[in-house]
Every structure is written in C-alpha cells, then in structure tokens.
Amino acid sequence: MHDRIPPSIHPLLLQYAELLQIELPDAFHGVHLYGSIALGAYDDQKSDIDFVTTINRSLTADELSRLKNVHRRLLRSSPLAKRMDGMYIRLEDVGKVNGELQPYPCCASGTFKPSAYWDVNHITWWTLKHHAIPVAGRELQPLIRTDWRDVSDTLKYNIEDYWAQKAEKRLCFLLDEWVESAVLTLCRIEYTLQEQHIISKTGAGEHALAVLPEQWHPQVHEALRIRTGSGIPAFSSRLRRAAAIQHFLKERIRFCQEHYFS
C-alpha cells in the first residue's frame, strides 16, 4: 500500500481493490485517491475517502449489481466505508466533466448509485493529475489532459455562478456547515488562483490568516474552529457572524474578479 495512504484505511482499501478485481475482472482498470488524502490533510475522525475508479468500458446490468454488492460488503466490514465518495469513470471519459457526460456509477457516503452525477470537474482532474495516490491497477495520470485554463475557468464559474448567489443569502451563515464551507472554499479558490496549486481547505485557511488583512481573521478563525472542532467562537452571536461571513464572501469574490478575471 502506498506510503501516503493513512494506515487506518489500509484494510478497507485492500478489501475494496480485491473485490473489484474479483467482480469486474474484464472492466477494472485502476483505483486512485484524491481529495484530502492526496493533499496530505486527511483527518482520521471525519475526512472523506475520495476515489476515482477507472473502467475499460460501460458496465452491464449484472456488473452494476455486483458492484452494489461490493459496497454493501464494505459497509458491513468497516464503518470507514461510510466515508467512501467516488466515481466509476470509463477510460474514454477521463478528463471530461459532468456537463459532457451521461450519468455514471458513483458512491456517496458509502452508498452505491448505478447512475448519477458526482464530483467530476476540472479541479478533480487537476488534483488527480498532480497528486493522485494509486491503490490498485494501472496508471491514470498520463491519461488526464486537464490544464490550468480549465481549472481557472472552473473557479471563475464557482465564484460568479455559485458563491456570488450564495453570498446574497445571509441566513445560510447562521449554520456552522455553511460558514465553514463558504469561508474555507473562498480561501482555497483565492490561494489556487494565486499559486496555481491546490491545497486542503484547512491549509488554505491557515494561509489566509498569514496573508489577509486582520479584518478578515475572525471569519477565517471561525471557519477553522468549526472544521477542526477546537477553539472558541469568534463572534458573540450567530446574527453578527452571518453578517460578517456575508461581508467576507462579497469582498473576497470582488477581489478575485478584479485581480484574476478582469
């Protein structure tokens, strides 16, 4: 097992790889990890196990049924299987994004879905291209054609078509999960645009504390507090927090638009 894979998940991944090669001997190509594991930020207590399994061709109805049973067996064998999030992508579709694909097999929180959409975008492919950890099978990186412009265009879409709309909904930021997601994602986007490199959300938050003006530190501290589960609240009330998070989002979105997308 690759030395970048946390020892706690070795048994689960070994079982998964063995079952794939038994149940899909003609279709299986390889399994690779991305996400927090590949970025060196895996948390044994709560991180997802993000994977991409490549297959040589479309799966038959019988193979999809067997694959569903694979994930059922994993859930029975290990509680960590509930953290498995991933996609089954044909070799001919490597590098494509959801808008170019028909629904594909995927796994969400350990539950297999024979036909759906999941985390297939250029940021995923870029991370795999530069940081993928092999679990079993053949190489994936040489097949990925995603370049930096693809990543930049995806981040522009994320900011202008998703987060700009979310920033108008102040009440979302009464909820801890939205505070964490919004602040650390914007920190990560800004870091990625500046450095042309992808790091973990926690790493992006820590970097933001080092480079952003102090007026933004309470918002970042609050997001990191929620993510890590340690520290004291940075705001005296959730209403004040919601207003501050909204202000943070709007200003960081404006900064990115002026400096990277103008």
Q: What is the pLDDT of residue 1?
A: 76
Residue 45 — very low, low, confident or very high, per pLDDT cuts 50/70/90?
Answer: confident
The identity of residue 57, as a single letter, is: R
Share of the chain above pLDDT 70, in %: 100
Reported as a single tens digit per residue, the pLDDT across 159-207 is 999 999 999 999 999 999 999 999 999 999 999 999 999 999 999 999 9
pLDDT of residue 173: 97
233 pLDDT above the threshold of 80: yes
pTM for the full model?
A: 0.89
pLDDT band at residue 151 using 50, 70 and 90 as cut-offs: very high
* Residues 180, 25: Cα–Cα separation, whole Å: 41
Backbone phi, then psi, for 167, in 5-degree steps? -65, -20
Residue 41 near residue 47 (C-beta atoms within 8 A): yes
Residue 23 has pLDDT above 80, yes or no: yes
Query: Tokens in use for 51?
Result: 């994977």
